[in-house]
Amino acid sequence: MPAPSACPSACGTPAPQTIYLLSQGHTAQPPPVPLPPRAPLLPLPLLPLPLVLQAYKWWEEPPLAPGRQWSHLEHNGMSFPDEYEPHGVPLMYDGEEMELSPEDEEIATFFADVPLDGPQLGDAATAKVFSANFFSDWKESMPTGHPLKNAKFDKCDFGAMRAHLQQRRLIKKAATDGERAAAKAEKERRFHLFGLAIVDGHLEKVGNFIMEPPGLFRGRGKHPKTGKLKKRAYPSEVTVNIGEEAKVPQCPVPGFAWGNVQHDPGVAWLSTWKENINNMNKYAMLSASSSFKGKSDMEKYNKAMRLKGHIDAIRRNYERGLNASTSEMRQLATAMWLIDKLALRVGGEKGEDEADTVGCCTLRVEHMTFGPAGTREMELEFLGKDSMLFKQNIDFTAYGDIGSKVFDNLTAFCKGRKPAEQVFQKIDPTTLNKHLQSLMPGLSAKVFRTYNASETLQQQLPSADALKNMTVQAKVVEYNNANREVAILCNHQRTVSGAMLKSFENLGERVAKVKEQRADLKAWLKLAKDGKAKKIPLKGRGSSQDADDDEEKKELTQRKFEGSHMFANTPSEEQLQRKIEGWTTKLKKMEVDLRDKEQNKEVSLGTSKINYMDPRISVAWCKRNEVPIERIFAKTLRDKFVWAMNVPPDWRFDFETLRAVTAESSDEPKAVTAVADDADAKAKGKGDDDEEEEEEEEEEMD
């Protein structure tokens, strides 16, 4: 086809007349006048990702239908850890080098990477179980006829592997800026590919988008399976949950495909697979700051507020039940008293392959030691969640006639029974929770912990009048004191690690040094007043070049701190006086900080803050007392509880507050909307009688 010729009009010749063919009944119309060219559209500026994530105010959206978690769900599946790369360092067995296959070497490396002074190998009893489980699984993975199939653990020497891993850690620590930048870029690439999901048109962060790598199972507390081999999971073992209209995510591992793809809007998880240790399903979920978790949290705390409106009637119910004619009702009432007043978890049956931790319904006779005849005292001692010791001496007379009746009931329940027998033989978590739901729709035993923690915090926080003229730091200490009372109530302990003790020691040394520096300043002020200012030592003018490695950086930082009170030029009396005042203020802050950390070193303030205390109490208190919320909540908690940030300063954790919002009648309580709880239970394979899992993150204490 020949190329079109140039328009004749361009050469000065009139263009030929255009001819329009018209159907009968149509009138000829002139050609449309061409519009002037439109200016090109400029691209809209992209918002930073954190702002996009924060823009979704899900609490202002109308709720979905009951039982429905989402209408549209789209994500890219999961990322998987790289395959193992052998290092070739041999195992020493009975003094001889033993070359290992890549599969055997990987498992041996898992063990060599466990710190000898850590919780698994640093405790003799735990180390015995951990090592035995590891060695058994390691040998089981070896083929028949393998030279180590009948080996003995005490002849294995992992020292060369440990030295190699330590060297590898040092190399990683000494990485160049370019290597660190490359690692950061790869981490960001993986996050942007797998760490985001689109839920009902909104962008949300995924919590655990990287498949758990293989390794040795640690377990919480004194777990009997600690040390067992946690096998590598592949895409073929994973079920992906997405919307029907969404594109199925591409499997990221060549040669594999997803095990299954489903479209279930009734569950909140994105992917699921079964782990081999406990043969339980695990889940990839949206992050703690997501709308899914936020809705669940809000409903949890609203339910605790609803309990506050019914607590008097519920307490009257179990107080009457303490004298019931049937043993089952007396046990129900006594268990309810323990859960309410001592903040015990409800407990559940444990198998032989699970840690021997107990709750209220699984207390055994051996856990109770009654005081001398004529007293109403008892020592309650058992291992609770995560094998944390609960040990408390209870004087039941402090609770009046009701407490005395509880003591009498417990004595009767234990009478004639063997130490290993259960105290509450007529009830279990299911029957207890069914009874609670007959008193308040949606109520379960775990709601009492949330209610008591939140109510305790609200009662313990000092009023605005009591905090007048206090510094922000002093107000934060008062908040931590109230938080500590909640942690003690809920038995939220933490082990004081060597690193924590070292940090206290360092802080104490810094306090002592600041005292010395202030004393120097006072001595120099005296010299200045005596006309001997020239005798005041001045700050050295040494090199200010940057340090090359971590040790040099530490030394440089220490030298700067030690000379921070000195002057480059001879100071005046006024300069010295100002610096003395500044050092006095600094010393007071450091002493308050040290005392606060010392008081809270054995209690976990973060656990109750994350899981049990209604965040709106803290936000409203901060607003009333002009305390920046950043001093109370770390960034992760501010993101998690973004829905709580808009409450007014006079907000209260009260049933009246909830009723004002929901127009709920105190006489006829409406059924609790437990969609979030039900979906969470469905997602995690739990029932009403199971305990809600607590998050273990420790928040940074400012």
Residue 53 lies in a domain: no
Single residue among 286, 309, 326 that ends a domain in this structure: 286
Q: Quote the pLDDT of residue 467.
A: 96
pLDDT at 50 > cutoff 50? yes
Residue 4 lies in a domain: no
C-alpha–C-alpha distance, residues 396 and 368, integer Å: 13
Torsion of CA 576, 581, 585, 587, to 10 degrees: 50
C-alpha–C-alpha distance, residues 544 and 156, integer Å: 51
- Scanning 600-674, the segments in alpha helix (DSSP H) are 605-611, 615-625, 635-640, 655-662
C-alpha–C-alpha distance, residues 472 and 693, integer Å: 34
Average pLDDT over residues 630-637: 96
My answer on whether 100 and 208 are in the same domain is no
Known catalytic residues are: 612
Torsion of CA 472, 50, 683, 268, to 10 degrees: 130
pLDDT at 240 > cutoff 80? yes
pLDDT digits (tens, 9 = 90+) for 557-570: 888 888 898 998 99
Residue 572 lies in a domain: yes
Residue tagged 């909640």 (tokens) = 486
Q: Where is average pLDDT lowest: 145-149, 209-213, 552-556?
A: 552-556
In the beta sheet, which residues pair with residue 205? 196
What mean pLDDT value characterizes the chain? 87
My answer on whether 355 and 482 are in the same domain is yes
C-alpha–C-alpha distance, residues 404 and 400, integer Å: 6
Q: Are 472 and 630 in contact (CB under 8 A)?
A: no
Residue 6 lies in a domain: no
Confidence of residue 590 (pLDDT cuts 50, 70, 90): confident
Q: Quote the pLDDT of residue 591.
A: 85
Q: Is the dihedral of CA 210, 212, 215, 220 positive or negative?
A: positive
Q: Which two tokens stand for residue 519?
A: 């004393």
Q: Which two tokens stand for residue 197?
A: 């999901």
Residue 30 lies in a domain: no
Most confident range, picked from 139-148, 618-627, 693-702: 618-627
- Looking at the chain, the whole-number percentage of residues with pLDDT higher than 90 is 69
My answer on whether 588 and 509 are in the same domain is yes
| DSSP reduced 3-state for 608 | helix
Question: Residue 525 belongs to what domain range?
Answer: 495-536+557-592
CA nearest to 457, candidates 593, 336, 604, 609: 609
Average pLDDT over residues 471-486: 94
Q: Quote the pLDDT of residue 480.
A: 94
Average pLDDT over residues 116-124: 91
CA separation, residue 126 to residues 223, 225, 624 (Å): 9, 10, 48
Single residue among 242, 270, 286 that ends a domain in this structure: 286
Q: Quote the pLDDT of residue 4.
A: 44
Single residue among 128, 158, 177 that ends a domain in this structure: 177
pLDDT at 156 > cutoff 70? yes
Vertex 543 angle, CA 538 and 548, to 5°: 135
Q: Are 477 and 596 in contact (CB under 8 A)?
A: yes
My answer on whether 347 and 489 are in the same domain is yes
Q: Which two tokens stand for residue 589?
A: 């802050």
156-157 and 91-93 beta bridge pairing: antiparallel
Using CB atoms within 10 A of its CB, is residue 186 exposed (0-12), middle (13-18) or buried (19+)?
exposed
Confidence of residue 35 (pLDDT cuts 50, 70, 90): low
My answer on whether 575 and 642 are in the same domain is no
pLDDT at 166 > cutoff 50? yes
Residue 184 lies in a domain: yes
Confidence of residue 550 (pLDDT cuts 50, 70, 90): low
C-alpha–C-alpha distance, residues 492 and 385, integer Å: 10
- Scanning 155-215, the segments in alpha helix (DSSP H) are 159-173, 177-194
My answer on whether 517 and 563 are in the same domain is yes
C-alpha–C-alpha distance, residues 251 and 260, integer Å: 11
Residue 66 lies in a domain: no
Amino acid at 422: Q
C-alpha–C-alpha distance, residues 250 and 256, integer Å: 10
Q: Which two tokens stand for residue 421?
A: 């027998």
CA nearest to 602, candidates 309, 445, 388: 388
Q: What strand order describes the sheet that includes 156-157?
A: 96-98, 91-93, 156-157
Residue 62 lies in a domain: no
271-274 and 239-241 beta bridge pairing: antiparallel
* CATH code (residue 154): 1.10.10.41
Q: Are 564 and 533 in contact (CB under 8 A)?
A: no
My answer on whether 623 and 512 are in the same domain is no
C-alpha–C-alpha distance, residues 485 and 281, integer Å: 36
pLDDT at 696 > cutoff 90? no
My answer on whether 137 and 222 are in the same domain is no
Residues 6+ apart with CB under 8 A from 485: 456, 457, 460
My answer on whether 383 and 253 are in the same domain is no
C-alpha–C-alpha distance, residues 618 and 604, integer Å: 17
DSSP labels for 286-311? B-TTSHHHHHHHHHHHHHHHHHHHHH
My answer on whether 430 and 296 are in the same domain is yes
Vertex 64 angle, CA 60 and 66, to 5°: 130
pLDDT at 444 > cutoff 90? yes
My answer on whether 400 and 323 are in the same domain is yes
My answer on whether 309 and 396 are in the same domain is yes
Q: Quote the pLDDT of residue 390.
A: 92
Average pLDDT over residues 236-256: 96
Q: Quote the pLDDT of residue 548.
A: 58
What domain count does the chain have? 4
pLDDT at 415 > cutoff 60? yes
